[in-house]
C-alpha cells in the first residue's frame, strides 16, 4: 500500500518547485547560450592546407582583418625560364585576390627572390629580397614597392653585393631594409657585415645606410623591429664576437641607425643563429627570439628584457625554428622544421611545451607563422611533397588543420647560453640604385584539404588535366582540356554568369565585361566534375 503525503506537504512541495521555476529557466537559458557561444566560436575556426605557386621562400605577412600576403620565388611564372620574385595576396580563406611577379631584363642570368614582405599603410606591400646576376658582385638585392592591386610602383637594387632580408614601414612612413652586405669585390662566401638602410617611400632612394659587425667574418640581420623609442632592434647571427662559432646577434640603434648597444648569446659547443621571422616584442616590454642551435640541439627559444638581458633560454627537439609569436594567453607559438616536417610548438610563458604538431608528407619546412583572427594560426613554409610550392597550413587554436598532420612528442631542456657584449663596428652601408625590371601576373593555388574557400581543379581527372590561364587575368581566360565539358561560371554568391558546352581542347572564355573579383568555374562531362576559381583583375 502506497502511503500518501499529507495534502499540506504536497502543496508546500508544489509551491517550492513553482517558486524555483524562474531560476531554473534562467539557468537553462544561460547554459544554452553559453553552449551556443562555444559552438559558434568553435565553428568560426577555419582550417585548410593549400599550396601556392611553384616554389617559395618564407616571405609572409598578415593583412589585418582581411587576409594574407605571401611571397617568394618562381621559375615557372612570368617572365618564363628564370627565377623571379612573386607576391600573392589572398583573403582569410587563402583564395587569391591578386598576384604580382617581376624579374630582371637580362634573362636567365638575372635571378631574384623575396625574403620578406611588409604591408603598407596605403594597402600596398613592401618586398625585400636577394638578386644574383651570374657572378656579378658589384651589386645585388632588390627592394620594391607594390600598390594595393599588386602593381610595382618602383623597384631598386643595391650598390653592393648584399642579401636584403627584413623590411618594415617605420613610424614616419618611410621604409627600413636589412640583411647582409659583402665586403667590396667579394661574393656570398666572402666576409660580410649586417646592414640597415632607411629608404624614401616615394622614390626608393636611400636616406641613410649603416653596416654593423667587424673582424672580417659573418654578421647578418634576419629580423628588425621598430622600438617604442623610435629606434630599431635587429636580430641575426655573428661569428665575429661571442663564444665561438655562430652566436645570436642582437643590435639596438636609435632612429638614425646609430649604435646604442649590441650583444651576443650562445655556447662554445654549438652554433646558434636567430634567423627568419625570429624576433617579436612581448607584452612585458621585452622580446622573444627563436632560431637554430645546430644539428645536435636543434630549436631554441630565448626571452630577454628591453635591455637585452636574458631571462631564460630553452632547447627543443627539431632542426630549427624560423618564426615566433606571443599568444594572447602570455605563452608562445613557434614554427620550424623537425625531421623533414613543418612543426608548430605551443609553450607557456616560461617556454614549457603545451602541445606540438607536425605537418606535411616528409619534405616540408616550417617558415610561416601568424596569429589568425579566429584564434587559430596561419603556418607552413615550403614543400616538395606535392611539387614545389609555398605550403600554407591554417589551424585552429590547438593546431588541428584537417589533414597531413601528427602530434610528435617534443621535449625541452635548458639552453646554457652565455650573454656577452659585442664590440660592434659601424660603417657605411649600401645605397639603392635604379633597376630595370619586367612585370607580370600569375600563380596557382592547390587545395590539399579545406573547410572554407573556393575549390580548385584536381591535378588530373579521368578525362585528363584541365588548365586555366592566365589566372588571375583581365577577363579573357584560356580553358585547355576538358573536351566536351559543360561549363558554368558563378559569382561567389552563386549567381549564374555564363554557361556553355565546350567542344574543343582549347577554348577562350571571355568575361571582360564583368567586375573584378573571384568567380567559380564548374565543368562536367557527366562523369568527372572539376571546379576552379577565376580571378578577374583589370
Name the grid cell of 81: 625560364
Cα 326 → chain centroid:
15
Average pLDDT over residues 239-243: 92
Tell me the pTM. Answer: 0.79
Q: Can you read off the three cell numbers belonging to residue 315?
A: 632547447
- What average pLDDT does the segment 268-276 reach? 89
DSSP states along 38-64: HHHHHHT---EEEEESS---S-EEEET
Enumerate the domain spans of the chain: 48-330+419-439, 457-536
> Who's near 318: CB < 8 A, 6+ residues apart?
298, 299, 336, 337, 338, 339, 343, 345, 410
Which pLDDT belongs to residue 135? 56
Question: One fold for both 48-330+419-439 and 457-536?
Answer: no
Predicted pLDDT of residue 247: 95
- Whether domain 48-330+419-439 has CATH 2.120.10.10: yes
Helix (H) or strand (E) holding 28: helix 7-43
Cell of residue 392, nine digits: 600554407
Average pLDDT of the residues in 441-463 = 63
Pick the CATH number of 457-536 from 2.60.40.10, 3.40.50.2020, 3.40.50.620, 3.30.390.30: 2.60.40.10
pLDDT in tens, 511-526: 999 988 888 888 888 7
| ∠ CA 225-416-298, rounded to 5° | 70
- pLDDT tens column, 89-132: 888 888 777 778 887 766 556 667 888 999 999 989 999 987 76
Identify the CA nearest to 177 among candidates 231, 133, 127: 127
Q: Evaluate whether 96 touches 472 at the Cβ level (below 8 Å).
A: yes
Grid cell digits, residue 400: 588541428
Looking at every residue in the chain, the average pLDDT score rounds to 82
Strand order in the sheet with 116-119: 116-119, 125-129, 140-146, 152-158, 432-434
Alpha-carbon gap, residue 344 to 408, rounded angstroms: 10
Answer yes or no: are the C-beta atoms of 253 and 196 closer than 8 Å: yes
Residues in contact with 429: Cβ distance below 8 Å, sequence separation at least 6, in sequence order: 181, 195, 196, 197, 209, 210, 211
pLDDT at residue 424, rounded to an integer: 95
Mean pLDDT of 437-447: 69
Average pLDDT over residues 416-433: 93
Q: Which residues, in sequence order, are bridge partners of residue 405?
A: 359
| Backbone CA torsion sign across 197, 277, 147, 391 | positive
- Name the one residue in this structure whose C-alpha cell is 565585361: 513
Residue 61 is predicted with a pLDDT of 64
| Rounded Cα distance, 130 and 283, in Å | 33
How is residue 93 written as a grid cell? 580563406
Amino acid at each position: 500500500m502506497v502511503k500518501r503525503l499529507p495534502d499540506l506537504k504536497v502543496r508546500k512541495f508544489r509551491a517550492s518547485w513553482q517558486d524555483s521555476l524562474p531560476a531554473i529557466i534562467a539557468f537553462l537559458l544561460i547554459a544554452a547560450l553559453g553552449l551556443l557561444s562555444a559552438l559558434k566560436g568553435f565553428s568560426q575556426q577555419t582550417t585548410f592546407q593549400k599550396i601556392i605557386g611553384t616554389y617559395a621562400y618564407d616571405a609572409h605577412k598578415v593583412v589585418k582583418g582581411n587576409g594574407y600576403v605571401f611571397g617568394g620565388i618562381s621559375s615557372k611564372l612570368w617572365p618564363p625560364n628564370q627565377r623571379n620574385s612573386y607576391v600573392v595576396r589572398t583573403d582569410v580563406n587563402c583564395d587569391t585576390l591578386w598576384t604580382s611577379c617581376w624579374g630582371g631584363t637580362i634573362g636567365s642570368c638575372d635571378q631574384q627572390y623575396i625574403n620578406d614582405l611588409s604591408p603598407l599603410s596605403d594597402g600596398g606591400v613592401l618586398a625585400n629580397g636577394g638578386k644574383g646576376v651570374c657572378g656579378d658582385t658589384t651589386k645585388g638585392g632588390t627592394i620594391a614597392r607594390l600598390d594595393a592591386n599588386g602593381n610595382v610602383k618602383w623597384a631598386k637594387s643595391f650598390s653592393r653585393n648584399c642579401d636584403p632580408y627584413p623590411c618594415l614601414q617605420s613610424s614616419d612612413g618611410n621604409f627600413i631594409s636589412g640583411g647582409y652586405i659583402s665586403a667590396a669585390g667579394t661574393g656570398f662566401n666572402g666576409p660580410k657585415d649586417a646592414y640597415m638602410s632607411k629608404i624614401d617611400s616615394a622614390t626608393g632612394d636611400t636616406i641613410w645606410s649603416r653596416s654593423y659587425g667587424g673582424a672580417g667574418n659573418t654578421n647578418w640581420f634576419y629580423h628588425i623591429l621598430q622600438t617604442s623609442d623610435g629606434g630599431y632592434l635587429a636580430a641575426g647571427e655573428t661569428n665575429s664576437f661571442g663564444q665561438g662559432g655562430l652566436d645570436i646577434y642582437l643590435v639596438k640603434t636609435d632612429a638614425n641607425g646609430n649604435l646604442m648597444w649590441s650583444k651576443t648569446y650562445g655556447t662554445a659547443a654549438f652554433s646558434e643563429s636567430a634567423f627568419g621571422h625570429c624576433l617579436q616584442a612581448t607584452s612585458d616590454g621585452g622580446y622573444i627570439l627563436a632560431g637554430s642551435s645546430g644539428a645536435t640541439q636543434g630549436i631554441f627559444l630565448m626571452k630577454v628584457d628591453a635591455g637585452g638581458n636574458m631571462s631564460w633560454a630553452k632547447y627543443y627537439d627539431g632542426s630549427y625554428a624560423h618564426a615566433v609569436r606571443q599568444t594572447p594567453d602570455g605563452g608562445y607559438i613557434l614554427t620550424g622544421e623537425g625531421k623533414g616536417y613543418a612543426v608548430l610548438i605551443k609553450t607557456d610563458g616560461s617556454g614549457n611545451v603545451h602541445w606540438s604538431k607536425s605537418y606535411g608528407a616528409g619534405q616540408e619546412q616550417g617558415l610561416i607563422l601568424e596569429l589568425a583572427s579566429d584564434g587559430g594560426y596561419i603556418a607552413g613554409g615550403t614543400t616538395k611533397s606535392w611539387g614545389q610550392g609555398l605550403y600554407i597550413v591554417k589551424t585552429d587554436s590547438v593546431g588541428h588543420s584537417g589533414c597531413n598532420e601528427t602530434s610528435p612528442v617534443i621535449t625541452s631542456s635548458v639552453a646554457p647560453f652565455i650573454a656577452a657584449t659585442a664590440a660592434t663596428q659601424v660603417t657605411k652601408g649600401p645605397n639603392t640604385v635604379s633597376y630595370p625590371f619586367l612585370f607580370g601576373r600569375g600563380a596557382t593555388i592547390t587545395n590539399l584539404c579545406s573547410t572554407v574557400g573556393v575549390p580548385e581543379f584536381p591535378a588530373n581527372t579521368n578525362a585528363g588535366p584541365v588548365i586555366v590561364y592566365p589566372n588571375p587575368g583581365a577577363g579573357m581566360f584560356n580553358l585547355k582540356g576538358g573536351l566536351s565539358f559543360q561549363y558554368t561560371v558563378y559569382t561567389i554568391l552563386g549567381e549564374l554568369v555564363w554557361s556553355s558546352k565546350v567542344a574543343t581542347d582549347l577554348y577562350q572564355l571571355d568575361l571582360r565585361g564583368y567586375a573584378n573579383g573571384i568567380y567559380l568555374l564548374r565543368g562536367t562531362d557527366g562523369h568527372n566534375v572539376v571546379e576552379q576559381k577565376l580571378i578577374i583583375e583589370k
